[in-house]
Structure 1
Amino acid sequence: MKRRLLGIAVALAAVICGLAVHLGAADTAASDIAGDALYVVAVWGGLVALFPRASSWLIGAIVVAWSVGVELFQLTGLPVAWAGEWPPIVLVFGTVFDGRDLLVYAVTGAALFVMDATVRGSFSRRRATSATV
C-alpha cells in the first residue's frame, strides 16, 4: 500500500511540475529536458500506483519503452496533427521527434530504477532484520 501511495504522490507531483514547466518556463533546451524527465517520472509514478508489486526492473523497462515508443510515434506526424485538433494532447504525445529526448528518457529511467531498487532493497533488508530480532 505504501508503494502505491508513493506512486500516486510522485505522479501527481511530476504532473504539477511538468505543467508548471510547460506553461511557465521559456521554451529552451533546459525546459525541454526538464519536461522530458518529468514525463518519465510521471509515467513511473503511474505504473507504480497501478502495479505496486511489480519489480523495479519491470517498471523501469516499461517506463523507458513507453517513453521511447511515444517519441518514435512522433515520426508518424500524428501527434502534431492531433495537437492541431486538441492542444492538450501535446502533454501526452509531444509533437515532433527529438533524438536528445531518447537520452533523457534513458538516463531518467535508469535513475528511477536505481532509486526504486535501492529503496525497495532497503525496506526488504529492514523488514528481514526486524523479523529475526
Structure 2
Amino acid sequence: MRDLRSGLVARWPAAAAAVLTVAVGLGVRAVLPGDPAKYAGDALYTVLVYALVVTVAPEVRPSRAALVAAGLSWLVELFQATGLPDEWGRHSGLVHLVLGSTFNPPDLAWYLVGAAVAALVHRALRTGRSAAPGVAR
C-alpha cells in the first residue's frame, strides 16, 4: 500500500502540470492573436505530452521525457499529412484538439521548443528538490 501511495504522490505534480498546461493553452488562444497563439499552442501541446509522460513514469529523466514528448508530437503532426485527423476532427471537437487538422512544417520546430522548455523546468525542479535537506530525489 505504501508503494501505491508514494507512486500517486510522485505523479501528482506532473498531473497538476498537465492541467495547468491545458489552462495556459486555452488562455493563450484567448489572449494572443493568430500565429503567436498558434505557435505557443504547438509548444504547449508538447509540454502537455511531456507532463503526461512524467505522470505515467515519474522517475523518467528529463532528456528521455523530452525525446518521447517531441517524438509523439512529431508523429501526430506527420499523421496530419494524411488528411485523416482533419476529416475526423470535423466530427469531434476532442479529436480536433488531440490530433489537430493540417500538417504545417514550422510546427515541428515549435514542438522541439516545448520539449526543451519542459525538460529545463523539470530538471530545475528535480535539482531543487534534491538540494532540499531530507528530500529524496
Conserved in 1, the CA contact under 8 Å of 2:90 and 2:96?
no
* Structure 2 counterpart of 1:4, from 6, 11, 24: 11
Distance 1:12 1:21 in 2: 14
- Residues 116/14 of structure 1: CA separation in 2 closer, same or farther (3 Å cut): same
Consecutive unaligned residues of structure 2, counting only runs of 5 or more, are 1-5
TM normalised by structure 2 equals: 0.81
- Matches for 1:1-133 after TM superposition, within 5 Å: 3-22=10-29, 24-25=30-31, 28-126=34-132
SS at 1:85 equivalent: coil
Distance 1:100 1:81 in 2: 22
Distance 1:8 1:65 in 2: 20
Give the CA deviation at 1:3. 4.4
Q: C-alpha deviations, 1:16-57, integer Å up to 9, x for none?
A: 2223445x3576101101211221121111111111011112
Q: Which moved more, 1:91-100 or 1:36-45?
A: 36-45
Q: C-alpha deviations, 1:58-81, integer Å up to 9, x for none?
A: 111100001111101100110001
Letter in 2 for 1:15: V
Task: List, as ranges, runs of 4+ consecutive aligned residues in structure 1 with deviation greater than 4 Å.
Answer: none
Higher normalized helix content (fraction of residues):
1
Letter in 2 for 1:113: A
TM normalised by structure 1 equals: 0.83
CA-atom RMSD in angstroms: 2.1
Q: Which moved more, 1:66-75 or 1:8-17?
A: 8-17
Residues paired across the two proteins, number: 128
